[in-house]
Structure 1
Amino acid sequence: MPVTLDDRTIARWRLRSQHLVAPYAAGAAGIVDHPLAVQAENPSQSAWAVGSRTAASDPADLADLLHSGAVLRTHVLRPTWHYVAAADVRWLVELTAPRVRKTYAARLAGGLDGEAAVLLDALAEGAPLDRPALAARLEEAGRPLTGMQLMLLLADLEMQRLVVSGPPANGVHTYAPFDDRVHGARSLDREEALAELARRYVTGHGPATERDLAYWATLTLTDVRRGLAAAGDAIASFEHGGRTYRYAPDQSPPARVEPAGHLLQILDEMYRGYQDSRMVLDTAGAVPTGRETAIGMALVDGQLVASMKREVGRDRVTFTLTPYASWTPACAAAVEDAAARYGAFLGLDPVVAHNRT
């Protein structure tokens, strides 16, 4: 290895493998394809998760892919939204659905087959529908559902490959029949799928541990180990801090990263893409432990320096920071630069504020 391996180096390496630092990906399609899936819980902030990793940082890039169906926003992996390339969605859902659907079954009230039929019949009429429109159809059929129950039922239908995202309508998520939006997607047998998932995850997130991958994909450690073994020479490893880290053999850790600062949602793959080794982002041990309360984060040189709250106004976007430790001029400069990039992406003037309480 050309540099000393420690937690900070691993964090910098992840910035590079995730394209958060130069060299960036050419466009949004590459960002979704590279790590296999990008968490997309919040459409506005997840658009920046994609845009911040591309050379052009153009919101229209991802928007065009979602409209055409080349990229889909759907439930897969952990029971949450992800952007996934249409070419990958079938095999990925087939692989992860058995375990993910158990989480829905535990939260869904039983006996919703009739409600599911109403939803599928409504979508079969041909027009993509948003959630309020689908809720209205259930009301008309005498089968009303609460907002949470409807969301869970739609997510379960996604995991059955019956429903998937339609073209966004004025920025609002819609649903459509799976087979109307997914054409020519690959199907892989289970062994091929485990190997493909392991290779793509490690390439787009490495260095990472097998427990990081098990968390990310909602798979058992047994399946993760099978996938890592099946990927063979496409994955290399090293030992550090009592853990085995996997990485792509053609990648290496950078001595420094540019740009140094990043303003990201807490759901960003740089944070949420790991669990076992997530806190290589906090080598100083400055981040409070316990329940997460922040909705955003400020990173400098791959380290968490502050929580961040984003507020979008008519002509400006305000990033309010609560530092975790001492706030240095270098931190301030890096965060100001990150805010300028984020503001340019949104077409708004950036303002950085500090919470002094």
Structure 2
Amino acid sequence: MDSLVERTVSQGLAGPRGASVVDAVRRVVALQAQDVRANRLAVRARTEGLTRVDVDAAVADGTVVRTWAMRGTLHMLAAEDAPWIVALLGPRFAHGLRGRRAQLGLTDDICARGAEVIAEAAREPRSRAELVDALAGHGIEVDPRTQAPAHLIGYAAMTGVIRRGPDRSDDEPTYVLLEPADPLDEPKALARLAERYVEGHAPATAEDFAAWSGLPLGKARSAFTATAPKHDDPGRTVRLVGHFDAYLLGYRDRSAAVPTKYAKRIQAGGGFIMPAVLVDGRAVATWKRARGRVEIEPFDTLPKGIDDAIDAEIADIARFLADNPA
């Protein structure tokens, strides 16, 4: 089987689709979540019959959680995975941001005291503004016009104190306590993470694992195993994946999936990854929603025989987003 096809099956983008939000998330360990709409679409591409309401419900009831994990960025994880993964990765990224926090006036002492205040306040879901007020009530003034509140909240999340909670009706994020992790020494946690990564991304390398997780290459290599699951050939598969999809962000580079001459169509600059049309794991177009309609922007002539599959994906996106109740 072609290696890219194998990757799509590992990622849940080909073959049988998952039945629940947590199925989709567990499959790849975590899904990018800095963009809530894109996060929902990543679940859609890996499941069957769900809607965006189901994704929001899974977040609201705590089946899945959003928090800062791989590379210190916001991800959605299964609730049982978040504590041990944050315990493994979070402090490393929190330390890496120490200099930026210092620039914002967040000394180590302020961060430690602030995390204690945040922990007390976040026994119930709290917005950023409410956490800033709680900090002020304990003599810790954090200017809400700066990035200081975001960095202090991020510090508390990466050090295992809090996580993102359910969004409020106006899409305002909240923060709640993170359940503590069961004791797990670093070698065991690294081995577990590496094994889970391979299951959801194979074929992949230790270098891919390091790039995805943000771990130093030496640590990634020490834990990595190339043993990959065996999959049945799924046949021709077409998927429309959204911004920041794990398929395009889960490896050291995406040159195998995205032809070099079209690389800037997927990533024009910075870390912004465009939605893509995948045919057997290869990007053949980008897509966007405009005025409630999906518009396909091919790189070149599209492969023959995929029109019906693309139409089916477009219809499923409309259904998922409840544009068409039927």
Structure 1 residue corresponding to 2:131, chosen from 113, 130, 134 = 134
Structure 2 residue corresponding to 1:217, chosen from 213, 219, 240 = 213
Preserved contact between residue 38 and residue 243 of structure 2 (Cα < 8 Å): no
Q: 1:87 is paired with a residue of what secondary structure? A: coil
Aligned pair in 2 of structure 1 residues 139, 310: CA closer, same or farther (>3 Å)? Answer: farther
Preserved contact between residue 84 and residue 189 of structure 2 (Cα < 8 Å): yes
Give 5+ residue unaligned stretches, structure 1.
4-8, 230-234, 237-246, 351-357
Distance 1:100 1:115 in 2: 14
Aligned pair in 2 of structure 1 residues 287, 217: CA closer, same or farther (>3 Å)? Answer: closer
Structure 2 residue corresponding to 1:282, chosen from 258, 267, 270 = 258
Distance 2:156 2:145 in 1: 16
Aligned pair in 2 of structure 1 residues 338, 61: CA closer, same or farther (>3 Å)? Answer: same
Distance 2:185 2:119 in 1: 30
The answer to whether structure 1 residue 269 and structure 2 residue 246 are counterparts is: yes
Q: How far did 1:40 drift? A: 1.1
What's the TM-score, normalizing by structure 2?
0.85
2:231 matched residue in structure 1:
252
Q: 1:134 is paired with a residue of what secondary structure? A: helix
Preserved contact between residue 52 and residue 320 of structure 2 (Cα < 8 Å): yes
The answer to whether structure 1 residue 339 and structure 2 residue 314 are counterparts is: yes
Distance 2:193 2:273 in 1: 30
1:153 matched residue in structure 2:
152
Letter in 2 for 1:306: A
After TM superposition, the structure 1 = structure 2 runs for residues 1-357 of structure 1, keeping only pairs within 5 Å, are: 3=1, 9-108=2-101, 109=103, 111-112=105-106, 113-114=109-110, 117=113, 120-121=116-117, 124-125=120-121, 126-135=123-132, 142-170=141-169, 171-178=171-178, 182=179, 185-229=181-225, 235-236=226-227, 247-248=228-229, 251-252=230-231, 254=233, 256-257=235-236, 260-276=237-253, 278-283=254-259, 285-288=261-264, 291-292=268-269, 295-311=274-290, 317-327=292-302, 330-348=305-323
Identify, as 1 or 2, the structure richer in strand. 1
Q: How far did 1:100 drift? A: 1.6
Aligned pair in 2 of structure 1 residues 253, 149: CA closer, same or farther (>3 Å)? Answer: farther
Letter in 1 for 2:80: A
Distance 2:110 2:174 in 1: 21
Letter in 2 for 1:192: K
Distance 1:96 1:207 in 2: 23
1:51-75: CA deviation from partner (whole Å, max 9, x where unpaired): 2212332334332321222321000
Aligned pair in 2 of structure 1 residues 336, 139: CA closer, same or farther (>3 Å)? Answer: farther
What's the TM-score, normalizing by structure 1?
0.78
Q: How far did 1:200 drift? A: 0.3
Distance 2:167 2:248 in 1: 27
Aligned length: 315
Identical aligned residues as a percent: 28
Q: 2:255 is paired with a residue of what secondary structure? A: helix
Preserved contact between residue 167 and residue 173 of structure 1 (Cα < 8 Å): yes
Distance 1:98 1:123 in 2: 17
Aligned pair in 2 of structure 1 residues 187, 291: CA closer, same or farther (>3 Å)? Answer: farther
Q: 1:78 is paired with a residue of what secondary structure? A: helix
Q: How far did 1:175 drift? A: 0.4
- Aligned-residue Cα RMSD (Å) equals 2.8
Preserved contact between residue 238 and residue 278 of structure 2 (Cα < 8 Å): yes
Q: How far did 1:131 drift? A: 2.4
Aligned pair in 2 of structure 1 residues 218, 115: CA closer, same or farther (>3 Å)? Answer: closer
